[in-house]
Structure 1
Amino acid sequence: MFLLLIVISINSYLLIKIGSGKPALLLAGSILISGGTFILLFIASGWRNQRSLQFEQLFNEYPIPMWIYEKSTLRFLSVNDAAIQKYGFSRKEFTEITLKDIRNKEDIPLWLNNAAERCNGTEYRGIWRHRKKDGTNFFVEIYSLPAIYFGKNARFIMAKDVDAEVKASKAAHELGIRYELLAQATNDAVYDKNLETNKVVWNHGLSNLFLYNNHEDTDLVQWWQKNIHPVDHARVTTSLTASIAAGFNYWSEEYRFQCADGYYKYVVDRAFIMYENGRPSRMIGMIQDIDKHVKQAMQLEEQNKTLKEIAWINSHEIRRPVVSILSITGLFDKSNQDRHLNSQLMEWLHESTQQLDDIIHKIEHKVKKLQ
């Protein structure tokens, strides 16, 4: 008895025979998977049960789902433990279903056409959506090679779970589309900042809101920092640095930003921060002009302050001369016998009346400020 081990590329043809029978030439195949190499070992030997068991153990215990299916019927001929665990079907259930049962109905026509065109005696690699027994969908990268299994025309399949990678790529693509649509549809200043190069790309909002042209000088982070109001600068830059250092995805601040004509506008800056391998890589944000709203809020606050002052004057200051006037008028000698007393009371009455008049003028002034 002899032992022959041959390692070949994905283009190699696999001849599989498991169990007792005549010796068969079996080759080892190597398939590249995301930067690593999967080595599938097939032993060329005078086959005996011990060798068959070794191969079956290797096949069953490999951590990536694998199976062999018959091309004509699409039925599973053999599945490994990883496939059973991943898809939720028992080994017996796998023998009773076909490849159609691990796909959504709407995907089957496209998959059948693809299989007919590209899985015809050659290797194949592609990304497809699969379905577990419980109905959960996930994306897999399929590696497929032709095979002969117990005399049946079959294919060997390895299905690597790439669901997280596909969804992350899809989310990034959709985010890019939303950014482009948003940049065109809004008058706000939308920016896309590369956090590794500090390069910033702005939309037309830069000229609409702040009267700047999108020339080279406006593409730098330093330019943005330079135009933040000096009083707000430290707070805003510190907040952004702290958010990135903490790994936050969302950042927002309100501050004053200088326009090309020198005027400072109140703005709100909101951004989404993306990371690659734990490092900040990209920041997409929007600067919105809230100057009018802030000024209105400040005006309302000032009006409320004035109204409170008027209310305090009415409840405190104006009562003092009014009480004095009422008291003085009650002291007059109506028979006019004591002219000296009446004269003194008239002076006091005049003073209190003058105080009341001053307070009324004070209230009038504050009312004009409200108007």
Structure 2
Amino acid sequence: MRNAPIKFACLCLVFAVISINSYFIIKIKAFPYEVFFVVSEVMLCCIFILLLVAMISKNYHSMQYERLFNEHPIPMWIYEKTSLRFLSVNEAAVQKYGYNKSEFRQLTLKDIREPEEVLNFMENVTERCNGAQYRGIWKHRKKNGDNFFVEIYSHPTIYYGKEARFIMAKDIDQQVRSAKEAHELGVRYELLTQATNDAIYDKNLITNTLTWNHGLLNLFHHNEADAGTDLVQWWQNNLHPADSKRILTSLDECILSGNRYWSEEYRFLCADGCYKYVIDRAFIVYENACPLRMIGMIQDIDKHVKQAQRLEEQNQTLREIAWINSHEIRRPVVSILSIAGLFDKSNQDIHLNSRLMEWLHESTKQLDAVIHKIEYKAKDIK
């Protein structure tokens, strides 16, 4: 009980005055009336002073609590439980919500919420605000219509004889929106990983640890059991021996130079023992020039690389055929044309014509060999 000692002392003095009064009524002749009057007046003055001190002390403490309530930086208010009307609000609530104190007293808790959320709010009031303490996150609305998220702390109280609840509303709008944005980014990331067959990884450059999504299995047909626990070392071990040094050097140079983007093509070992051509693109996160994370995507380009290799081989074959046409096939053709011009059309020099026929046959065989060579080369073009 607040001020209980003072109240007890006052009651004792009142009892003493009554007792003395009764005594002197009985023994009035034994004691002068003036003395009794003086004693009574002194006691009554003491009672009045003690009561005054008690009232001042009580008002002083009340003023302290009221000042603490009004000057607290977090919005607070007291509302009537039955009508949900605002009974008292502090300055922080006035600044935050845009209503003055007179306007607040004309409102209820429904007026600082979106209309579509009122039904949910009323259900919550019925179920949870039944005398117990409560804590929850709600979306409130300012006078200008802006919405923001708050964390409510509530407990029951009595305010000027009315059943009420005390509320403290902490602004957590930035935290909620940041968490919501992070959740949406996480959902989009998860959808991305499910929508692509590419291998997406997240490498912690401080701890040198690596995590993969499902693309590790889809792309290379490996599973987590194959990879073991040290995924960074496992990735390095599965690089093609001819590419390993080049890739590791390129990555180290990229990080040392502070570049944010890294991209390389290399061959990676699949579970079936074959190497597959991939392109690895990554974004590196720095903090105070210190590399923290490396987020990347490995894409399968094996078909494109091998198709490009086949095209290059075909182009090489065509270049060889062109060279044969321009060099090797020309020689027997020129010989045949020259020999044909030397024939004795009168057939008087039989020996010459016979010799020319041998040369013609030899040049024809050379031409046939060149044609077969071109046919063989042409088979490589598919």
Please tell me the TM-score bracket, short chain as reference: 0.5 to 0.7
Among all aligned residue pairs of Structure 1 and Structure 2, give the percentage whose two residues are the same amino acid.
Answer: 58
Root mean square deviation, CA, Å: 4.7
Alpha-carbon shift at residue 66 of structure 1 (Å): 0.9
Other-structure match for 2:300: 289
**2:178 matches 1:168:** yes
Counterpart code for 1:149: Y
Alpha-carbon shift at residue 125 of structure 1 (Å): 0.7
C-alpha distance in structure 1 between counterparts of 2:282 and 2:105, whole Å? 52
Gaps of 5+ in 1: 5-21, 26-42, 305-367
**2:59 matches 1:47:** yes
C-alpha distance in structure 2 between counterparts of 1:222 and 1:71, whole Å? 64
Q: Among residues 250, 253, 256, which one is paired with 1:235 in the alignment? A: 250
C-alpha distance in structure 2 between counterparts of 1:295 and 1:177, whole Å? 35
**Preserved CA contact (<8 Å) 2:79 2:166:** yes
Other-structure match for 2:370: none
**Preserved CA contact (<8 Å) 2:268 2:278:** no
C-alpha distance in structure 2 between counterparts of 1:71 and 1:60, whole Å? 21
1:105–1:282 distance in 2 versus 1, CA, 3 Å: farther
Other-structure match for 1:331: none
**Greater helix fraction, Structure 1 or Structure 2:** 2
**2:190 matches 1:180:** yes
**Preserved CA contact (<8 Å) 2:203 2:210:** yes
**2:150 matches 1:149:** no
C-alpha distance in structure 2 between counterparts of 1:149 and 1:118, whole Å? 20
Alpha-carbon shift at residue 81 of structure 1 (Å): 1.6
C-alpha distance in structure 1 between counterparts of 2:67 and 2:76, whole Å? 13
C-alpha distance in structure 2 between counterparts of 1:66 and 1:217, whole Å? 56
* Greater Cα offset, 186-195 or 60-69: 186-195
Other-structure match for 1:315: none
**2:146 matches 1:131:** no
Other-structure match for 2:331: none
1:191-214 deviation digits (Å, cap 9, x = unpaired): 355666544343442233234343
1:145–1:290 distance in 2 versus 1, CA, 3 Å: same
Alpha-carbon shift at residue 114 of structure 1 (Å): 1.0
1:85–1:190 distance in 2 versus 1, CA, 3 Å: same
C-alpha distance in structure 1 between counterparts of 2:96 and 2:301, whole Å? 52
**Preserved CA contact (<8 Å) 1:202 1:219:** no
**Preserved CA contact (<8 Å) 1:3 1:44:** no
Other-structure match for 2:69: 59
Alpha-carbon shift at residue 175 of structure 1 (Å): 3.4
Other-structure match for 1:352: none
**Preserved CA contact (<8 Å) 1:188 1:287:** yes
**Secondary structure of the residue that 1:100 maps to in structure 2?**
helix
**Greater strand fraction, Structure 1 or Structure 2:** 1
Counterpart code for 2:234: W
Alpha-carbon shift at residue 266 of structure 1 (Å): 5.0
**2:124 matches 1:109:** no
Alpha-carbon shift at residue 297 of structure 1 (Å): 7.8
